[in-house]
Structure 1
Amino acid sequence: MAKAVIVGGSIAGISTAHALILAGWDVLVLEKTTSPPSGTPTGAGLGLNPLSQQIIQSWLPHPQLLHNTTLPLTIDQNQVTDSEKKISLPLTRDESFNFRAAHWADLHGLLYKALPPNVILWGHLFLSFDTANNDKGSVIIKAKVLKTGEVIEIVGDLLVAADGCLSSIRQRYLPDFKLRYSGYCAWRGVLDFSKNEDSETIMGIQRAYPDLGKCLYFDLASGTHCVFYELQNKKLNWIWYVNQPEPEVKGASVTMKVSSDMIQNMHEEADKVWIPELVKVIKETKDPFLNFIYDSDPLEKIFWDNVVLVGDAAHPTTPHCLRSTNMSILDAAVLGKCLEKWGAEKVESSLEEYQFNRLPVTSEQVLHARRLGRVKQGLVVPDREPFDPKSATPEDSKEELLQRNTPFFNDVPLLAPASIPTSI
């Protein structure tokens, strides 16, 4: 049986494991964290589109498990916040939005528990790989077992880089690659209100946002915007984008732990911008964190020999079209279909078709998300004046702001019917 080694056990890596196992491959996932998330508030919220829901359900022993751990997002609403009067007014509303809201840790746990045992090697730090013997179609991967310090070698037929937007595997092939800073960062947090459902804060936010539990809210103010929606198990997820110069990224992360002074300053700024009900939620959220928002210009190539990129390693993106997780899940499904179609003897043909299918889709989505983020943040875009929510009209805004205008929003085939390049 052909063997694939996947570097990275986040949602992109774990999704790829599911897809490749279904395609008949032996799979190992190397993940540096020492154990799976267990009931912790790891990560934040995400939205799953209908195709991702369908794909995930095909990987689960009981399809209803996905619905049991997510909430519906049937409405996509943009509203304008008047920061002086502290009121919000609806701008655009799409009531046929068919997403599901998930907490990162819940979705990860669902996918992890549905895998066969021993697929993920926890506490294994990827070190390097070698394709020197690639005439035999193999790749040699070195990893450190963090518990013992031992360095081990694993030989596989395919190496899948699911190691995120700062991918070290991608850097091997694209040494000059650099992420592009968006011009803004994001404060993020999840408020667990399961033990205080009747508090003044929760009753107030439910009055101010009457469709919580089924609506993806975007609050737009001058030069900033906030995303707000409910998650399963009485949690509220919020993201607040703030324009600022590029910070200094330390280490292999675009997430920053913040000081109490930074949180205090953020709370003071929130008071100036958002309605009081939202500010209370922000202030009562424990351990908010800061994301630096990056993307990259679309890559021209996402595989080399028997090494392939998936997820954020293949297409770093800003979060504005809820694409990152959805693109990762679809990457996994398409890669699995291609490997199953061509068989283990023709890995390069499989990867050629995977690239042929995914690059046009992800490239357009990354660039659309970039533009949408700049519009909502009031930043310069080439073909329009900076967006001012106070003067925005509903008709003009529908074209720009609604999620359903994302390229390939509802029509992404798992495999394109067009013929693939003759080089295969």
Structure 2
Amino acid sequence: MESRINDSKRKRVVVVGGSIAGLCCAHSLLRSEWLEVLVFERARSVTAAGAGLGVGPRACDALRSWGLGDALESSSLPLSMEENRALDSKRNDPVVIKDETYDHRAVHWSDLHRLIHDALPAGIVRWSHEVVSFAELREANGEPRVRVKVSKLGGAENESNVEEIDADFMVSADGSMSQTREKFIPNESRRYSGYCAWRGVLETSSEHAQEVAETVKKAYPDLGKCLYFDIAEGTHAGLYELLKKRLNWLWYINQPEPQLKGKSVTLKADEKAIKELHEQAQRTWPPELAKLMQSTASPFINAIFDREPLGQFVWGRVVLVGEAAHPTTPHGLRSTNMSIDDAFVLGNAIAKWGPDQIEVALDEYQGERVPAATREVLFSRHLGKLKQGLLIPGIDWLQAEQNLKEQLLQKNVHSFQPSEL
């Protein structure tokens, strides 16, 4: 069938990174039929890594607009409630505050990644390819371009593995340690939050795990629709259910900044660290939650970082999205949601302004996303400090003023003012 798009109007975009942010950008940008999209990703394929996450209403609407609504529904469970509880053995009711209009979906990171990937046309994503450099240039007619050098990984070390690709603009979705961001903002430091998070997912494939899960559900009766937070002195934990009766948990522990190797913020726990985790869980949490942590195979540790918010996401024809633009702490469940929001806004702006107004479209994207991302990064930082006892040490949440209790709810991200810090 003959193309309806004039060849002179065809444009190309290179997306750096094939994680959720990059793949969502591909979906959103493909709405513009005049745009060719290429995604380059270092990894060999979609993996089963990661843990659970919550997808908010705006991000769900974006996924549905790209035709992914049915896949999302079949891969996730509703999170219609958020409940914050405080540990105090002297009180029968541990609930500090709840939100019954939470309206999220709970999904495993790898399940979401796979469903987004599998819905893309073949040939869009090029696995085992690394963007090693890029340069902005102008053609003889003055038209701006981005020349990208891409290396195919796993082959012989020779020049034939490097390909030069010219694009009309480049979207950098290469994560919180983005090399693209480093080029524009050299020597920038990330900010350690003061705590790390243990994370795990209990797979209920064994009889023992099923018994543990049933015990946990008696103590947390709204699992399957509720995001629970338990708050103890100087620490807090989160718990919710994923599809296939899996229980996703995380526990934030104040500690000095760990020594990390390379760029990853994920630490593999050894037997000694896991034993100490189990012992500390018994001392800190209700027996049901402690047993859940003790029964989870291969828990891992994330060191929690963010960065100071940026005043721009666009440099010429290069645009940052996702964690490359706004690394954030996880307390507002914003990281993946912000990535999807970025992709949605970027794709809409490109479609609105068309092939001859790319700079205008990128400027519109930046104008909408920079203030929103700034608010969300600072809100998540504030919420983490509050729940970890770093803002108000020793607070009795069950006796706190109502306006302070309200600050525990994630829905406050929409009205949060950075001056509140």
Structures share a fold, TM > 0.5? yes
Question: In the alignment, does 2:55 pair up with 1:15?
Answer: no
Question: In the alignment, does 2:414 pair up with 1:407?
Answer: yes
Which whole-Å CA distance do the structure 2 matches of 1:189 and 1:86 have between them?
Answer: 29
> Residue 59 of structure 1 aligns to which amino acid in structure 2?
W
**CA contact under 8 A between 2:238 and 2:250: conserved in structure 1?**
yes
- Structure 1 counterpart SS, 2:154: coil
2:287 corresponds to which of 276, 279, 286: 276
1:185 corresponds to which of 177, 181, 196: 196
Which whole-Å CA distance do the structure 2 matches of 1:396 and 1:180 have between them?
Answer: 29
2:63 corresponds to which of 22, 39, 56: 56
**CA contact under 8 A between 2:52 and 2:109: conserved in structure 1?**
yes
- Note closer, same or farther for the CA distance 1:248–1:388 as it changes in structure 2 (3 Å cut): same
Shift of 1:85: 7.5
Which whole-Å CA distance do the structure 1 matches of 2:236 and 2:401 have between them?
Answer: 17
- Structure 2 counterpart SS, 1:345: coil
- Structure 2 counterpart SS, 1:315: coil
Q: How does 1:382-421 map to 2 (within 5 A)?
A: 385-386=392-393, 388-389=395-396, 392-393=399-400, 395-407=402-414
- Which segment is superposed worse, 107-116 or 84-93? 84-93
**CA contact under 8 A between 1:294 and 1:317: conserved in structure 2?**
yes
- Structure 2 counterpart SS, 1:240: strand
Residue of structure 2 equivalent to 1:108: 113
**CA contact under 8 A between 2:203 and 2:209: conserved in structure 1?**
no
Residue of structure 2 equivalent to 1:225: 236
Question: In the alignment, does 2:77 pair up with 1:77?
Answer: no
- Note closer, same or farther for the CA distance 1:232–1:144 as it changes in structure 2 (3 Å cut): same
> Residue 119 of structure 1 aligns to which amino acid in structure 2?
I
**CA contact under 8 A between 1:81 and 1:87: conserved in structure 2?**
no
- Note closer, same or farther for the CA distance 1:116–1:199 as it changes in structure 2 (3 Å cut): closer
- Note closer, same or farther for the CA distance 1:90–1:305 as it changes in structure 2 (3 Å cut): same
- Note closer, same or farther for the CA distance 1:153–1:389 as it changes in structure 2 (3 Å cut): farther
Which whole-Å CA distance do the structure 2 matches of 1:366 and 1:198 have between them?
Answer: 36
Matched residue count: 400
- Note closer, same or farther for the CA distance 1:268–1:225 as it changes in structure 2 (3 Å cut): same
> Residue 229 of structure 1 aligns to which amino acid in structure 2?
Y
**CA contact under 8 A between 1:88 and 1:275: conserved in structure 2?**
no
- Structure 1 counterpart SS, 2:155: coil
2:386 corresponds to which of 375, 397, 411: 375
Shift of 1:60: 2.4
Which whole-Å CA distance do the structure 2 matches of 1:318 and 1:70 have between them?
Answer: 23
> Residue 31 of structure 2 aligns to which amino acid in structure 1?
L
Residue of structure 1 equivalent to 2:133: 128
Shift of 1:194: 3.9
2:219 corresponds to which of 164, 183, 208: 208
Residue of structure 1 equivalent to 2:7: none
**CA contact under 8 A between 2:86 and 2:398: conserved in structure 1?**
no
Q: How does 1:9-408 map to 2 (within 5 A)?
A: 9-24=18-33, 25-37=35-47, 40=48, 42-60=49-67, 63-82=69-88, 89-133=94-138, 135-149=142-156, 150-196=161-207, 199-380=210-391, 385-386=392-393, 388-389=395-396, 392-393=399-400, 395-407=402-414
Which whole-Å CA distance do the structure 2 matches of 1:123 and 1:77 have between them?
Answer: 42
**CA contact under 8 A between 2:94 and 2:398: conserved in structure 1?**
no
- Note closer, same or farther for the CA distance 1:148–1:353 as it changes in structure 2 (3 Å cut): same
- Note closer, same or farther for the CA distance 1:5–1:198 as it changes in structure 2 (3 Å cut): closer
Which whole-Å CA distance do the structure 2 matches of 1:395 and 1:5 have between them?
Answer: 49
- Note closer, same or farther for the CA distance 1:198–1:386 as it changes in structure 2 (3 Å cut): closer
Which whole-Å CA distance do the structure 2 matches of 1:392 and 1:317 have between them?
Answer: 30
**CA contact under 8 A between 1:187 and 1:240: conserved in structure 2?**
yes
> Residue 33 of structure 1 aligns to which amino acid in structure 2?
A
Which whole-Å CA distance do the structure 2 matches of 1:270 and 1:294 have between them?
Answer: 23
Shift of 1:404: 1.3
TM-score w.r.t. the length of structure 2 is 0.91
> Residue 115 of structure 1 aligns to which amino acid in structure 2?
L
Shift of 1:396: 3.5
> Residue 90 of structure 1 aligns to which amino acid in structure 2?
V
Shift of 1:346: 2.1
Which whole-Å CA distance do the structure 1 matches of 2:292 and 2:59 have between them?
Answer: 30
- Which segment is superposed worse, 25-34 or 198-207? 198-207
Shift of 1:198: 7.8
**CA contact under 8 A between 1:213 and 1:229: conserved in structure 2?**
yes
Deviations 1:160-182 (A, max 9, x none): 11011111100000003211111
TM-score w.r.t. the length of structure 1 is 0.90
- Structure 1 counterpart SS, 2:87: strand
**CA contact under 8 A between 1:44 and 1:189: conserved in structure 2?**
yes
Deviations 1:142-194 (A, max 9, x none): 12211314122221111111011111100000003211111111011111114
> Residue 109 of structure 1 aligns to which amino acid in structure 2?
R
Deviations 1:10-39 (A, max 9, x none): 1101100100011232111111111122xx
**CA contact under 8 A between 1:183 and 1:244: conserved in structure 2?**
yes
**CA contact under 8 A between 2:80 and 2:101: conserved in structure 1?**
yes
Unaligned runs of at least 5 residues, structure 2: 1-9, 417-421
**CA contact under 8 A between 1:77 and 1:94: conserved in structure 2?**
yes
Shift of 1:99: 0.7
* Percent identity of equivalent pairs: 46
- Note closer, same or farther for the CA distance 1:155–1:198 as it changes in structure 2 (3 Å cut): closer
Deviations 1:345-375 (A, max 9, x none): 2222111111101111110111111011000
> Residue 184 of structure 2 aligns to which amino acid in structure 1?
Y
Which whole-Å CA distance do the structure 2 matches of 1:349 and 1:5 have between them?
Answer: 18
- Structure 2 counterpart SS, 1:3: strand
Which whole-Å CA distance do the structure 1 matches of 2:196 and 2:209 have between them?
Answer: 33
Which whole-Å CA distance do the structure 2 matches of 1:147 and 1:401 have between them?
Answer: 47
- Note closer, same or farther for the CA distance 1:367–1:397 as it changes in structure 2 (3 Å cut): same
